[in-house]
Amino acid sequence: MKEEYVIILVLCYMGKQRRNDILLKLIARKLVGLREKQGLSQQKVYIHTGIDMDMVERGEYNITLSTLADLCDYYNTSLEDFFKDMPNP
């Protein structure tokens, strides 16, 4: 019984994602700028990508690299350009 409890704790810990709230806010701010620069609404981006921009742009969603890459592609920018001049929190 004790071994099962330890295994469950280890599996739960392994499933947790790291979260850097400062970085998420920086990414959110940059995404808002890209969206607004193209004159798009959050709803329009959602319709085209299926990504809920409200949570992303508030920094509440721990965005994956794959999702960020999809958004960069949608906004016609590279990941390299996206992170250019971004501070390292």
pLDDT at 14 over 80: no
Please say whether the beta carbons of 31 and 23 come within 8 A.
no
Go through 20-51 and write b for each residue having 16 or more CB atoms within 10 A of its CB, e for each that does not. Answer: eeebbebbbebbeebbeeeebebeebeeeeeb
What's this model's pTM, rounded to 2 decimal places? 0.78
List, for residues 44-88, the tens digit of each pLDDT value: 999 999 999 999 999 988 999 999 999 999 999 999 999 998 887
Rounded mean pLDDT of the chain?
Answer: 86
Task: Return the sign of the alpha-carbon dihedral for residues 40, 86, 81, 19.
Answer: negative
Query: Domains, the chain, ranges and CATH?
Result: 19-83 (1.10.260.40)
